[in-house]
């Protein structure tokens, strides 16, 4: 925060009003930037936990799944925010995100999902038909990954009795062919529920210990926690899973409104301010500094962004008076000038940037 992300300069004196006019539209980049940052921080947390508890990071791109479409304000928000999440991960149920990524960022297929039940496709079988609802999912989707929500009634009974006994052989047979069942709890305290279910499934299906000493369920069995997921709750869940002796690779997280909707412009303090004006051919540094809120003081003059030796960023003010050598440190580059788009990034190149920063 507190650094310049882009600047807009007017190139025609007759259109001096244009920069201010565009503020309302351009400041809306706060939304995808904030979603992408949230998703990125989640990935850092998951990656850190995997490094401590797992022998592999191979599945990390699918360990935070986007369930946010129905939790946002519009189809447009779903597409923009969902595409921002896909900068960091590849798991999504937000179809509109795939459309945005394809249309604007050159990605033919930016994300993936799996056959998955919802509560109504279980509860329509009635409570006495719960086992058959689960069996139906396995038989309808005999290959690949299938996700089955299992807390419509008693998730502990579902895991210990139905999955762990009644349908155990069917689950194991799918596993022998390399196919995966993902069981989804969707209520209660996330950390408590996840740890209890990991212990139940470990007792019923067994587990192995990896080289770091953490238990791993059979490769055909995983948990998907899709309720109550946020930055703080994720840290807590991962910590409790590790404390219970299980590897993070056993758990996939699904995030809905917390991923795409529970943010605003102030989350990361986005603002678009005038810093330099030319009046009668004279440059005037423009800024504000409210007496009651020093945090709202804005930057002065022409601004450039530099990368420091420790890989942090700094914004340099009064850049119109800098030497050419100092100006060459500016890492901002011209993207659009007088109707010409000079740089058009695709999703793959953006993903490469974020991936390299995680190493």
CATH of the domain at 118: 3.20.20.70
Last residue of a domain, one of 260, 288, 317: 260
Do residues 288 and 242 share a domain?
no
User: Can you give the pLDDT at residue 34?
Assistant: 98
Do residues 253 and 187 share a domain?
yes
The pLDDT-based confidence of 3 (bands split at 50, 70, 90) is: very high
| Sign of the dihedral through C-alpha 151, 157, 159, 163 | negative
Whether 319 is in a domain gets the answer: yes
Last residue of a domain, one of 239, 260, 281: 260
User: Can you give the pLDDT at residue 359?
Assistant: 72
Do residues 18 and 127 share a domain?
no
State pLDDT tens for residues 53-108.
999 999 999 999 999 999 999 999 999 999 999 999 999 999 999 999 999 999 99
| Residue 221 φ then ψ, to 5° | -135, 125
Q: Angle, to 10 degrees, between the axis of helix 30-53 and the axis of helix 231-243?
A: 10
Do residues 250 and 288 share a domain?
no
User: Can you give the pLDDT at residue 358?
Assistant: 87
Do residues 82 and 214 share a domain?
yes
233 alpha-carbon distance from chain centroid: 14
Do residues 43 and 96 share a domain?
yes
Whether 313 is in a domain gets the answer: yes
Do residues 254 and 277 share a domain?
no
340-341 vs 304-307, strand pairing mode:
unpaired
Whether 310 is in a domain gets the answer: yes
Question: How many separate domains does the chain show?
Answer: 2
Do residues 71 and 212 share a domain?
yes
Owning domain of residue 281: 13-24+273-358
Last residue of a domain, one of 260, 282, 305: 260
Average pLDDT over residues 185-209: 97
The pLDDT-based confidence of 295 (bands split at 50, 70, 90) is: confident
Q: What is the pTM of this model?
A: 0.94
Whether 61 is in a domain gets the answer: yes
Do residues 166 and 231 share a domain?
yes
Q: Looking at the predicted structure, is the pLDDT value of residue 350 above 80?
A: yes
């Amino acid at each position: 925060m507190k650094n310049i992300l882009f600047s807009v300069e007017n190139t025609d004196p007759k259109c001096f009003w244009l920069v201010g006019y565009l503020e309302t539209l351009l400041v809306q980049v706060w939304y995808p930037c904030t979603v992408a940052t949230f998703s990125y921080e989640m990935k850092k947390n998951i990656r850190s936990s995997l490094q401590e508890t797992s022998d592999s990071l191979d599945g990390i791109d699918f360990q935070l799944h986007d369930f946010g479409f129905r939790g946002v304000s519009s189809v447009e928000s779903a597409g923009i925010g969902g595409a921002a999440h896909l900068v960091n991960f590849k798991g999504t149920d937000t179809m509109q995100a795939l459309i945005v990524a394809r249309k604007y960022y050159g990605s033919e297929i930016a994300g993936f999902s799996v056959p998955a039940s919802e509560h109504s496709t279980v509860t329509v079988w009635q409570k006495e038909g719960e086992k058959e609802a689960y069996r139906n999912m396995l038989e309808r989707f005999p290959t690949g990954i299938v996700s089955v929500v299992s807390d419509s009634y008693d998730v502990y009974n579902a895991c210990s009795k139905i999955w762990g006994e009644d349908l155990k052989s069917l689950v194991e047979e799918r596993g022998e062919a390399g196919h995966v069942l993902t069981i989804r709890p969707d209520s209660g305290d996330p950390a408590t529920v996840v740890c209890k279910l990991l212990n139940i499934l470990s007792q019923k299906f067994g587990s192995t210990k990896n080289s770091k000493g953490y238990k791993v369920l059979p490769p055909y069995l995983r948990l998907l926690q899709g309720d109550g997921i946020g930055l703080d709750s994720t840290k807590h869940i991962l910590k409790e899973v590790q404390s219970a002796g299980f590897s993070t690779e056993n758990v996939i997280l699904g995030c809905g409104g917390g991923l795409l909707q529970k943010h605003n412009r102030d989350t990361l303090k986005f603002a678009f301010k005038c810093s330099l004006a030319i009046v009668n051919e004279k440059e005037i540094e423009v800024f504000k500094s409210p007496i009651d809120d020093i945090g709202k003081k804005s930057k002065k003059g022409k601004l450039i962004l530099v990368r420091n030796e420790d890989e942090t960023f700094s914004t340099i003010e009064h850049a119109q008076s800098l030497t050419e050598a100092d100006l060459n440190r500016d890492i901002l580059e011209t993207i659009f000038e007088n109707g010409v788009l000079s740089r058009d990034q695709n999703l793959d190149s953006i993903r490469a940037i974020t991936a390299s920063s995680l190493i």
